[in-house]
Amino acid sequence: MNEQTSWKEADAELYAAWRSIFNAGWTSPDVPDPCPVCGSRTLHQWYAQDDSHATVLRGVRYKGRGRLWEWCSRCRTFEHYRDGFVPEWWVEPYSVEAGFLRYDPDPIEAARKAAEL
C-alpha cells in the first residue's frame, strides 16, 4: 500500500459527525471522542500559524490566521482547512518543518508519532 495516497477526506455522509466532534471546543491537540469513521479514540488536530494578527470572532480569541488539519491516526481520515484562524490556546505539541506541510496530514502524523516515542 502506498502510504502517500492512503489518506482520505471524510465523505459527505460522515462529515456532519466529524464537524460536530471537532467543533465541540476541545482545547488540546488530541481530541478524546471516538472517530466517526472507525470508532478509534485517535483523533488529532494541528494548526500552522501564518500571521500574528490577533482577533476575536463570535467570542473566541484567535492569535492569527493559519491552517488546520484534523485527522484520525488509525483510519487516516482527515480534513484540511487552508484559510482559518488559530485559537489563542494553541501551543504546538511538536513542530513540523513548514516546507514539509502538504494537503494531507502525513508529515504531521509522522512528527506526532516521533514525539510520542
**10, 31, 68, 72: which one contacts Zn ion (CB under 5 A)?**
72
Q: For Zn ion, which residue of 10, 31, 35, 68 counts as binding (CB under 5 A)?
A: 35
Q: Does 38 bind Zn ion (CB under 5 A)?
A: yes
State in angstroms the smallest separation of the CB of 55 from Zn ion: 32
Cell numbers standing for residue 107: 508529515
Name the 3-class secondary structure at 20: helix
Residue 75 in contact with Zn ion, rule: CB under 5 A: yes
Q: Are 14 and 39 in contact (CB under 8 A)?
A: no
Whether the Cβ atoms of residue 34 and residue 48 lie closer than 8 Å to each other: no
- Asked whether position 14 contacts Zn ion by CB under 5 A, the answer is no
The strand pairing partners of 66, in sequence order, are: 49, 84
Q: Which of 8, 82 has the CB closer to Zn ion?
A: 8
Q: In whole angstroms, how close is the CB of 42 to Zn ion at the nearest point?
A: 6
Nearest to 69 by CA among 51, 58, 84: 84
DSSP one-letter string for 35-50:
PTTT--S-EEEEEEE-
**Residue 111 is a binding residue for Zn ion (CB under 5 A):** no
Name the residue nearer to Zn ion (CB basis): 16 or 38.
Answer: 38
Binding footprint of Zn ion on the chain (CB under 5 A):
35, 37-38, 72, 74-75
